Amino acid sequence: MLEEVKVQVKDIDLVWHVVLPMLQPAIDLNEGDFDADHVYENLHKETMQLFLGYNTEDIIYAAITEICPYQHNRALRIVLMGGTNINSWVDTDIFENFGKLQGCNRIEIVGRKGWIKKLQSRGYKQTHFIVTKEL
């Protein structure tokens, strides 16, 4: 049975050595927007949040979120996610519930195209493409 939790700031150091290898592939693909030190620092500042999915034996996934205040909306953005056996844990309830508690009216997921297929059945839709060019 998969359990999910938002990690309290005081407990980040207890799990960081386990979750960083899960998150590193996503960090490596984020075009240099942030690195592991930046994420770690912002988790301690509470400008980012760490979520875990685990069972009695292992941590199965780790996810990093941040709250994005827009002019007319407030979004909980999932910026990094990684783990093993993705089909066993693609569930967004914990993020949706946390977002609502934080006054968010939207969930955003920044990731690769594969997330679209995984999340369509949960009511998510693709609304934007992000196209970049280095200058």
pLDDT score recorded for residue 43: 98
CA dihedral 52, 92, 107, 122 (to 10 degrees): 160
At 13, the pLDDT band (50, 70, 90 cuts) reads very high
Q: How much is the pLDDT for 122?
A: 73
- In terms of residue numbers, what domain contains 108? 3-122
The neighbouring-strand residues paired with 53 are: 4, 61
CATH code, domain with 44: 3.40.630.30
User: Is 128 inside a domain boundary?
Assistant: no
Query: Would residue 102 count as lying in a domain?
Result: yes
pLDDT in tens, 79-114: 998 888 766 666 678 888 999 999 999 988 876 666
Return the pLDDT at 55.
Answer: 87
Position 130 in a domain: no
Domain count, the chain: 1
CA contacts within 13 A on the Cβ side of 20: 13
Residue 133 lies in a domain: no
pTM assigned to the model? 0.85
The confidence score (pLDDT) of residue 31 equals: 77
pLDDT tens-digit readout, 55-65:
888 899 999 99
The answer to whether residue 129 sits within a structural domain is no
Q: What is the pLDDT of residues 20-64, one digit of tens each?
A: 999 999 899 877 788 999 999 999 999 999 999 998 888 999 999
**28 belongs to a structural domain:** yes
pLDDT band at 129 (very low <50, low <70, confident <90, very high): low
Residue 70: C-alpha distances to residues 62, 67, 96, 109 (Å): 26, 10, 18, 15
Question: β-strands 74-83, 48-54: how paired?
Answer: unpaired
